[in-house]
Amino acid sequence: MKRRTALTTALLLSSSALISMASAAPGSWRGTIYMAAADYTPNFPGVKNQLKVFQQIADEYEKKYPGIKIKFYEEPIPDTNTMIRVKAAAGELFDIYWAQSYNLNSTLPRGVATDLAPYFKQPNPYIPGNKAWQDVMDKAQLAESRTPQGQIYTLSGDKVVYTIFYNKNLFKKAGITKVPTTWPELIAASKKLKAAGIYPMHAVPAYPWWSRHFLSDLYSKDYAKLTGYDGLPGQSPLDEAVAIHKGILTPKDDRFMSWWPVFKQFTDTWPKDYLAADPGKNYDAFQDFVGQKEAMLYEGSYKVREMLDAGVKFPVGAFNFPRLSKAESRYATGVNTANAYAGTGGFQYAMSTPQSNKTMREKGKTEAVIDWMRFFGTPRNLQRLTAEQGTYAPTWPGTTVKLALSNFDAGAITAQLKLPERSIGAATATANLGWVDMQRIFGLYLSGNITLDQAKAQAQTVLDRAAQDYARKNKIDLSKY
């Protein structure tokens, strides 16, 4: 009897050991994992300084698990969302692909990406001592990419740093000796540039980008309240929808649009061509900056690499979003909001589903793909990837930012990155909000085609509809909050 008990115990122990080994290893599936790695793609054709790190990580994985191959898609994808829709409809989506979590949560169909939240709660065997993969991730970023039902479709680990780049030669030509640090200085510099026949900026003023700086200042005292409706750090679309529903992030609150006339002072110095245009037309702004037609460019850190590729020879500097004072708005709190806008960057990977990718129906493939994600999704590998790429800042605790800004005066960007990230906006609750409807109203106001009161009325309509759409689509009672 004792022998039988011992045998049973031994069998149980060995089987549990086998199970735990199986969860750590890619299992029995063998084959090729296809990945569209976007900005981290190794050996991308036509790129001067080719990236190698992701291929090295893949080689390490293949060496560890012979029989599994990692293949990177090496063609440019001009329109990611269309690619996802088309390939998913055919059941041929990549096993892993880059996508914005915002799109996966709103405009892209359910079923194109696997919910990664359960996997994030499990240990990542490739991180020593890890109890849950999510422990090494940025908590605010995790919360911001959650759907109201708790799904998380992307493994996110980096962000874009937004700043105001400027052409030092053109500033000098206009007689500007000091970069602006306050709003009046920015307006004065813009007027000097305009008087010298130089466009201060020539761009579509993107509402979701600029508004973050202003709203994060004007609402800074309510930060905890506005980000806390869902009980998680950071401002999620749910937090945003609740604040809209409560009339806080709407024109009903005087702070909400009090900054529009302040910002208009700035855009009044720009040519009007793009003020009321679609943000998708912003490529002209970059061309004008490279062509030395405009002196300033408000853009993300990814533009540094593009400037290098475009052969920019003139000296480029960067300065941060100027602080606001009571002189600009009586609601200004004086908080430094330079770091308020930071879009998620290139390390933002989703995994397809058996519905969007027929090969995921193969027994054991999902586990194998997850295992590969766990392998490259460690802080160490995130650090290696971002350090080589040089345009995105890793967000996971313990990682350090290494931007490839050697040719640039990057003091402002590095200073900005040290600031705590506190961001308030009203742009992501539904698909049409922010980039579409608010952008149109914003553009019409800035270009002088509607008054502030007309803009307020239109914005209220848009926001009300956005909150209703959010509640209807996600089956949420906003009045509960």
Which spans of this chain sit near another protein (rule: CB under 8 A)? Answer: 81-82, 85, 88-89, 107-112, 271-278, 280-281, 355-356, 431-432, 436, 440-441, 443-444, 447, 449
CB closer to another protein, 88 vs 368: 88
Across the beta sheet with 162-167, the strand order is 296-300, 162-167, 316-319
CB closer to another protein, 237 vs 443: 443
Q: Residue 153 is encoded by which pair of tokens?
A: 């479709």
Alpha-carbon distance of 417 to 188, in angstroms, equals 26
Alpha-carbon distance of 304 to 296, in angstroms, equals 14
CA distances from 418 to 75, 393, 409, 465 (A): 35, 11, 17, 37
As measured in angstroms, the least distance from the Cβ of 271 to another protein is: 5
Alpha-carbon distance of 332 to 394, in angstroms, equals 30
CB closer to another protein, 424 vs 441: 441
The identity of residue 325, as a single letter, is S
Alpha-carbon distance of 317 to 173, in angstroms, equals 15
Residues 78 and 84 sit within 8 Å (Cβ to Cβ):
no
As measured in angstroms, the least distance from the Cβ of 99 to another protein is: 13
As measured in angstroms, the least distance from the Cβ of 267 to another protein is: 12
- Please state the length of the chain: 481
As measured in angstroms, the least distance from the Cβ of 356 to another protein is: 7
As measured in angstroms, the least distance from the Cβ of 252 to another protein is: 22
Q: Give one word for 161, left, alpha or beta, with left for phi > 0 and alpha for psi -120 to 50.
A: beta
Q: Residue 288 is encoded by which pair of tokens?
A: 């004008």
CB closer to another protein, 273 vs 464: 273
CB closer to another protein, 275 vs 393: 275
Residues 34 and 95 sit within 8 Å (Cβ to Cβ):
yes
As measured in angstroms, the least distance from the Cβ of 383 to another protein is: 35
Q: How many angstroms from the chain centroid is the CA of residue 283?
A: 19
CB closer to another protein, 92 vs 185: 92
CB closer to another protein, 14 vs 107: 107
As measured in angstroms, the least distance from the Cβ of 461 to another protein is: 9
Alpha-carbon distance of 355 to 377, in angstroms, equals 24
